[in-house]
Each structure stands twice: as structure tokens, then as C-alpha cells.
Amino acid sequence: MLRVVVCVSGGGTNLGAILEALKDNRIQNTQIVGVFCNNPNAYGLIRAQEAGIPTCCLSPKTFESRDLFHDAFCEAINQWKPDLIVLAGFLVTIPAKLIEQYPNRIMNIHPSLIPSFCGVGFYGLKVHEGVLRRGVKITGATVHFVDTGCDTGPIILQKAVEVLETDTAETLQRRVMEQAEWIILPEAIGLYAKGRIQIQESKVLID
């Protein structure tokens, strides 16, 4: 049984998509053993609690230093003994020591087609504002492994979404979630659980 910890910061719709995929068996042989959140007001916490999943909520603001928060964050994650950590709309930078402890075992969903509109400053609505400002016709979402860079780890899955002339950042964000994020994140976890994801020279191969 693959032990998965999911990290959320907001609405938790990606967590919801993972729960749906578990329910209808699109993800097999997997258990979400814990949900970590950095925001006590996040609806993602409620989703986890309603699903009976153990939660831990620690806000960086309540720690005297970022290092102390990182220590508490790593301890909280490790106590669940995960095989895989999934960042599902998680807006906290992952400490390098956790990335080194879980090489190619931390997955992130990013709401653009990496390497476009990613990196420092590109998160949440800002991604879609950048897409509209540049006038690209196609955007989408990317699931990738987390490395010590920002959105630079090996790409696992991507899915394209058309940009409409009538789009606002909000309508585009919603469509990218519905048509891409909520599909490829559960798919990537399902593939990982089946052992179908290999890494060769920092490229992901799916067999």
C-alpha cells in the first residue's frame, strides 16, 4: 500500500480530485495517511477531516524563524512515514533537507505548461495573469517531481487547455483546474502507485 501525504494551502480542490480518484479506483493500492496544511482557514483542511484523514496544520507565522518552521514541517511529514508527498496547491517552499530526504518522491502540480509561466512569483492567479498578458493561445498544467529549484524538477505529465478570448484570470484558472489539474495529478499518483514511473537522466519515462 503506497503511503501518501498531501500538502495543501487553500481550497483543496486538487485534494478533492485525488479523493475522487481513490473512490472510483483510478488510483489503486494507495492510502492518504495525512494532510498537512500551513493555513488554518484552508477549506482543504475541512475536505481532509470530512474524509477522516489525519491532519496537521502549522503556520510559518507562528514560528520565531523559518528554520524552526522547517524543522516542525519536516517532523510532521516524517511522522506519517510517507512513500510519496504530493503538493496540491501548496504555497510553502519545501526545505532542501526534505527534498534531499525524498528524491523524486515529492510531486507538485503547477497550473501552466512548464517551462512557461513558472518559477519565482508565478503561483495561483499570477500564473494565469501572465498567460493573458502574453497572449498565448494554449496553456495547461504540469505535474513534476520537486527538486531544489523552483518548478524545475523532472516533468511527469502535462495537459493542454485552450485560452479563450473572453477569459479572465479567474475563468482561466478554473478551466485549467477542471480540464487539466484535477485529471493529471490523480493520474500521476496512480501511475506512481503502479510503479510505472521511471527516471532516466532526470527525464521521466512512463512504461
User: Considering only residues 2, 4, 7, 8, which one is a binding residue for ligand GRF as defined by CB under 6 A?
Assistant: 8
Residue 154 · residue 110 · CB < 8 Å: no
**Separation of alpha carbons 114 and 203, rounded Å:** 14
User: Considering only residues 4, 22, 32, 109, which one is a binding residue for ligand GRF as defined by CB under 6 A?
Assistant: 109
Residue 157 · residue 177 · CB < 8 Å: no
Active site residue 70: no
CA atoms within 13 A on the CB side of 30: 30
Q: Does residue 108 interact with ligand GRF by CB under 6 A?
A: no
Q: Does residue 39 interact with ligand GRF by CB under 6 A?
A: no
Q: Does residue 35 interact with ligand GRF by CB under 6 A?
A: no
Q: Which is nearer to ligand GRF, 114 or 197 (CB)?
A: 114
Q: Which is nearer to ligand GRF, 26 or 194 (CB)?
A: 26
Q: Does residue 111 interact with ligand GRF by CB under 6 A?
A: yes
Q: Does residue 130 interact with ligand GRF by CB under 6 A?
A: no
Question: Given 70, 110, 128, 144, which residue is catalytic?
Answer: 110
Say if residue 194 is exposed, middle or buried (CB neighbours under 10 Å; 0-12, 13-18, 19+). middle
Q: Is 111 helix (H, G, I), strand (E, B) or coil?
A: coil
**Separation of alpha carbons 118 and 123, rounded Å:** 7
Q: Which stretch binds ligand GRF (CB under 6 A): 9-17, 131-139, 144-152, 198-206?
A: 9-17
> Which of 49, 175, 139, 150 has the alpha carbon at shortest distance from 92?
150
Residues of the shown chain interacting with ligand GRF in the complex, contacts defined by CB under 6 A: 8, 10-14, 44, 88-89, 109, 111, 123-124, 173, 177, 181
Catalytic residues: 110
